[in-house]
Structure 1
Amino acid sequence: MDFEQQLDRAHQVLLKKGFSGAAINPIIYRLVRKAGLKVPPPQFAHIGINILVGTVWFGTLWGVIMWFMQWQSLGVTLNYAVNASLLTGMIFGLMMSIWYKISARRKSLPSWHSLAE
């Protein structure tokens, strides 16, 4: 079974288990897949993948917003801004990863690998 078939099967399982469309296929995961990476839905993804995706998108977005709304006028160094953005993104990514794993356990989802069988 190729990745696209496995992804379709995962989306069907998630819908049957009561997840909403936005929860099973968040925009950031669609963008990551369009970039060519084969990333499963967050409920099936490894915790490290969820942390990485959350860190990159949230840390970047939050850092840019903070830079233009506050940090630039306060004279914050670029080094501080990057480090604060990474830390904030990592915390967000970790929290979202935990949320995805808890929701997957509550709904008794199968493993990603078992969907390929």
Structure 2
Amino acid sequence: MSTLSRRELALQILSKTGMQVSNYSPPAVRLLWRMGIDCPPPHFARFWPVFFISGVYFGVMLGLFMWLATLYRPLFLLSSVPFGAAIAGCCFGFFMASYYAIGRRKYQLPRWEEIGVTSGN
């Protein structure tokens, strides 16, 4: 089964759960799909990739914001910006990965590899 048809089947499964579209198909993931990057919807992704991707994204964006804020008005020590951004990124990544893992269990969703293979999906 191709990744595109597997993704469409996964989105159909998720739409039947009653979740909002923005929850199971967030804008960042839709942007990746439009750019041609094949990735599963977050509820079907494994814990560690979600942790890593969301943590790095959040940490980098927060680090840039903190760096720009420090240039304008020194609120933080410039040397503490990378450490603070890394800690915040790890926390955010952990909470997002946990959120999607809990949703996967709550709605009893199949694993990504099982979509389209088992009968009944």
Q: TM-score, normalised by structure 1?
A: 0.86
1:105 alignment counterpart = 105
The number of equivalent residue pairs is: 115
2:77 alignment counterpart = 76
Given that 1:60 and 1:85 are in contact with CA atoms closer than 8 Å, whether structure 2 keeps it comes out as yes
Measured against aligned partners, the alpha-carbon deviations of 1:67-99 in whole angstroms (never above 9, x if no partner) come to: 223x3332633x532232122112101101101
Q: Which structure: greater helix fraction?
A: 1
Helix, strand or coil: the match of 2:109? Answer: coil
1:48 alignment counterpart = 48
- Structure with the greater alpha carbon radius of gyration: 2
Q: TM-score, normalised by structure 2?
A: 0.83
Question: 1:103: Cα distance to partner?
Answer: 1.1
Given that 1:28 and 1:57 are in contact with CA atoms closer than 8 Å, whether structure 2 keeps it comes out as no
TM alignment of 1:56-75, pairs within 5 A: 56-69=56-69, 71-72=70-71, 73-74=73-74
Helix, strand or coil: the match of 2:84? Answer: helix
Q: 1:31 to 1:57 in 2, by over 3 A?
A: farther
2:27 alignment counterpart = 27
Q: 1:40 to 1:2 in 2, by over 3 A?
A: same
Helix, strand or coil: the match of 1:44? Answer: coil
Q: Can you give the 5+ residue segments of structure 2 that lack an aligned partner in the other structure? A: none
% identity of equivalent residues: 27
Q: 1:63 to 1:41 in 2, by over 3 A?
A: same
Paired with 1:56 and 1:116, the residues of 2 have a C-alpha distance of 31
1:6 alignment counterpart = 6
